[in-house]
Each structure stands twice: as structure tokens, then as C-alpha cells.
Amino acid sequence: MAVSEDNHERRPPRAPLSATLWPVARTTLRTLGSIAVTLLGLLFVTFIIGRVMPIDPVLAIVGERASQSTYDAVYEQLGLDKPLIVQFFYYIWDVLHLDFGTSLLNARPVSEDIARVFPATLELATLGIIFGVVLGVPLGVLAAVRKGSWIDQVARVVALIGYSMPIFWLGLMGLLIFYGILGWVGGPGRVGIFYVDVVPSVTGLILVDSIIDGNWDVFRDAFSHIILPASLLGYYSLAYISRMTRSFMLEQLSAEYVTTARVKGMSEWDVIWKHAFKNIRVQLITVIALSYAGLLEGSVLTEIIFSWPGIGSYITTALLSADMNAVLGGTVVVGLIFILLNIFSDLLYKVFDPRAK
């Protein structure tokens, strides 16, 4: 009984709750502050772009033949008669309420247009990044393990072609060969003309909506249309992911702990995947997150070539038509995507790397 009491007396005192919660609260506040500053900077840049562009937003609305009184009324309605600092605060307020103004092309709210076109880009980029990760990571690991072999040379050539070949040229060649000559895939667009609006839009992702509706004909047709552009984007991300994976793995495989593990008789599989690859997961998270963000905002040429009704083609069409509300609204959404993916990657850091906690 005395021993039990001694052990109880020697137990270190428990830290107060405030000492445990304060580091968490401090990290949370720091993260939120960083997000706020980044978002504020993004809004400031888009606001300035909208003001310095040689396009009169009033004339874009009323036309060049409008009277001076009509011009002045719209000028005041848009708040352009107020000081720039006041206009900037109004702009922040509108964006926080997801109000990006009205599109000059169709007179609809820009936020509704973005909500309509973004699922198409999300579906395309998601399939592309899955393709890039599933093939790029093993290819990079294998190239590092077999450094200098023919496998390594093939992996490096694949990455080099993915970096050097213009993506619009690959898209055109893909359409010519796989659609025009072989007929293996569907043509431009998300679905064939006979399947447009056949399934109700629940998520905006046509593959998912066709599964929900149980319409497998639409699913097969939609898959035949998306497989080529998704593979093209996936190949673009595969080149980057495989190259970075190879570089990370070469650094780990030359470390002393890998040599020690091999000397102890550990199997090569365990050395590669349970030791070396485990230590590059955090680095790969950043690579994959940035690659995914790049596919979500950088698939403009792919969407134009394949007539894909996504946010990339939407912003391009708006820019060519001087529809600045649509251009700036799409730019803000793309910036928010980068911010959210950075937050998500930071959260994954703490899952895969206990030191980040």
C-alpha cells in the first residue's frame, strides 16, 4: 500500500488545460491570419486589375450610343463615383457574400455561372490527378530504385516529353488519332448531343449524376468523352510527379539509415516502401496538391481544344469578350482553390508527420 502511495506521490502533476489549449489556439489563429492576409492580397490584386484595364465597365453595360444621363446613372449605380478605398471595401463585402457582379454576356450573376461550369473542371482535373498519382508515384520510385537502368531512362524520357510537348498539340494529336482515326473515344464536349440534359444534375459531375440516375448509357458516353482530356492532363501531372518522386527517393536511398536497414537483412520491399517512401510522403503531399491546383486552374487550353465547358474556357471567353466581372470572379475562385489546397496539405502534414504537430 505504501509503495502505491509513493508512486502516486511521485506522479508528475498534470499540465493545466490552458497550457494545452493555448498552442492549438495560437496555431489556429496564425493559420487564419495567414489565410486572411493572402485572401486580402488576392482581392487587392483583382480589384486593381479591374480598375487599370482599358475597358469602361459602364460602356460595356449601356453601350456606346447611350445618353449621358444613362451613363451617369449606371456610373453611380456601380459605385464608381466613390473614392477607390471605398470601392475596395465594397468589393470585399460583395466577394464575401459570393457576389461577383453580373456577366455582360448573358446578364446572369457570375457566381451562378461559376457554380455551373466549375463541376466540369473539377471532374476533369480530379480524374487527371488520379491518373498522374497512380502512375507517376510508382514510376518515380521504380526509376530511383533502378537508377541508371533502362527503366530509369524511360521514366526520364516520359517526364521530358510531358514537360516539353505543348499540351494543345498533344490534345489535337489525341483527337486526330483516337477519335478521328481509331474512333476509340468520344469527341469534344462532355457528352454526345443525344445525351445532353438526359440525367438530372445533382452534383454537376456528369459521371456521378449518371450513376445516381442509374443511366449507364450516359455514363459510358460521358466516360468516352472525358477519358482523353483527363489522360492528357494526367500525363502532364505524371511528368511532374514522377520526376519529383524520383528526386525525393534518390535522396532517401542514399541516406545512412537505408544502408543500416539493408545490412540488418531487411527485405528490399520494406526498405523502399516502409522506410524510404515513408519519409517522402510529406514532400509528395505538397507536390500533388500544387499539381492538382494547377490542373484546376491551368487546363484552359485543354478545355478549349476539347470544348469542355469548364472554368478555364469560361474565363477565356469572358476575357475575349471584355467581361471583367466574369474574369475577376473566376480569378478569385482559382485563388481560393490554391488557398484551400494549401490548408488541406498542411492538415495532411500533421497526419503523416508527427513532428508537424
Which positions ≥6 away from 224 have C-beta within 8 Å? 185, 186
Tell me which of 14-23, 30-39, 173-182, 270-279 is least confident.
14-23
Q: Any long-range contacts for 111-114 (C-beta under 8 Å, 24+ apart)?
A: 111/329, 113/314, 113/326, 114/311, 114/314, 114/329, 114/330, 114/333
Q: From CA 123, how far away is CA 308, in angstroms rounded?
A: 11
pLDDT at 220: 92
Interval 16-58: pLDDT, tens: 545 555 665 676 777 777 778 888 888 888 888 777 766 667 7
Q: From CA 167, how far away is CA 52, in angstroms rounded?
A: 31
Q: What are phi and psi of 12, to 5 degrees?
A: -65, 145
**92 shares a domain with 166:** no
Burial class (CB in 10 A: 0-12, 13-18, 19+), 228: buried
| Domain-embedded: residue 163 | yes
Q: From CA 126, how far away is CA 242, in angstroms rounded?
A: 18
Interval 309-323: pLDDT, tens: 888 888 888 887 777
The amino acid present at 190, given as its one-letter code, is R
Residue whose grid cell is 530504385: 145
| Domain-embedded: residue 11 | no
Q: Which residues pair with 71 in a beta bridge?
A: none
Q: What is the CATH number of the domain that holds 267?
A: 1.10.3720.10
Q: What are phi and psi of 102, to 5 degrees?
A: -110, 135
pLDDT at 223: 93
**118 shares a domain with 75:** no
Total structural domains within the chain: 2
Top-confidence residue, 33 or 291: 291
pLDDT at 227: 92
Residue whose grid cell is 487587392: 44
**91 shares a domain with 115:** no
The amino acid present at 178, given as its one-letter code, is F
Interval 87-139: pLDDT, tens: 888 888 888 888 888 887 777 888 889 988 899 999 999 999 999 999 999 99
**195 shares a domain with 91:** no
Top-confidence residue, 257 or 353: 257
Instruction: Summarize the confidence of residues 231-240 as an average pLDDT.
Output: 89
Q: Which residues pair with 284 in a beta bridge?
A: none
Can you read off the three cell numbers belonging to residue 340? 484551400
Q: What are phi and psi of 281, to 5 degrees?
A: -60, -40
**133 shares a domain with 55:** no
Range of the domain at 88: 17-96
**289 shares a domain with 182:** yes
**267 shares a domain with 165:** yes
**211 shares a domain with 64:** no
pLDDT at 127: 93
Q: Do 249 and 147 contact (CB within 8 A), yes or no?
A: no
**138 shares a domain with 89:** no
Q: Do 229 and 171 contact (CB within 8 A), yes or no?
A: yes
Is the pLDDT score of 5 beyond 60?
A: no
**170 shares a domain with 52:** no
Q: From CA 223, how far away is CA 206, in angstroms rounded?
A: 9
- Strand, coil or helix: what is 229? helix
